[in-house]
A and B are shown apart, each in its own frame.
Chain A
Amino acid sequence: ILNVEQSPQSLHVQEGDSTNFTCSFPSSNFYALHWYRWETAKSPEALFVMTLNGDEKKKGRISATLNTKEGYSYLYIKGSQPEDSATYLCAFMTRGSTLGRLYFGRGTQLTVWP
């Protein structure tokens, strides 16, 4: 079983604050790194799929970076809003026989207070 670590486990911020989370994964046999947002009572929704070392992706106020050599990815939220409150999951995919299988971290639960 491949270990994907996310930190912090939970985070409470005020509206307007910027924040970031970390995802650590094994650096060998890297294929892809996914970020998902999971709001309460909804389905997980893909934010980014990243495949190349040094990748930077952005969607509105949310961005992510990827370092495959050292095995980490950061997710940034600029100017957090209450609607950003959700659990943010990262998931890692390896090459080889397990290609297609995502290994998820436990997530970072973000609460943004108005």
Chain B
Amino acid sequence: GAGVSQSPSNKVTEKGKDVELRCDPISGHTALYWYRQSLGQGLEFLIYFQGNSAPDKSGLPSDRFSAERTGGSVSTLTIQRTQQEDSAVYLCASSLDRGGREQFFGPGTRLTVL
């Protein structure tokens, strides 16, 4: 079946603009995760959704970052008033549940803030 898809694959934006990144998880996966990798850094957890439970937002770096997951499927990560330090590869992953099962990653969105 189809894997995790993300769009756009690349996004170049100007400082101060808002951006939306989209993730389409594997059908039937109840857990969805967002990570980012900044230059020279490891994968950093941002947020995860598990079914209808309240999302764990503890990794979001500032209140400019928000995410939603509609209908338990597609998720959108929104970054408002982008800053240069937001430049990174944003990865989405999904898994059957949050209980330690392997996560399936999408190809990522490379965000560049000029």
Residues on A lying within 8 angstroms of B by beta carbon are 31-32, 34, 36, 42-46, 49, 51, 89, 91, 93, 98-107
Contacts and interface: CB of A to CB of B under 8 A. Distances in A.
Given A44-B91, A101-B45, A101-B48, A32 B56 contact: no
Contacts of A93: 100
Contacts of B102: 34, 46, 49
B42 to A, nearest CB: 4
Given A43-B108, A45-B105, A104 B42 contact: yes
A42 B107 contact: yes
Nearest to A49: B102
Contact of A89 (B43, B58, B100, B106): B43
A31 B35 CA distance: 20
Contacts of A42: 107
Contacts of B93: 44
Contacts of B101: 49
B111 interface: no
Given A43-B4, A44-B91, A89-B43, A102 B103 contact: yes
Contacts of B48: 100-101
Question: In the complex, which of the residues A36, A51, A89, A101 has the most CB atoms of chain B within 10 Å of its own CB atom?
Answer: A101
A49 B100 contact: yes
A113 to B, nearest CB: 24
Interface string B31-64: 1010100000111110010100000101100000
A12 B42 CA distance: 20
A39 to B, nearest CB: 12
B1 interface: no
B99 interface: yes
Shortest Cβ-Cβ A-B pairs, 7 listed: A100-B98, A32-B100, A46-B102, A106-B42, A104-B43, A43-B105, A44-B105
A6 B108 CA distance: 23
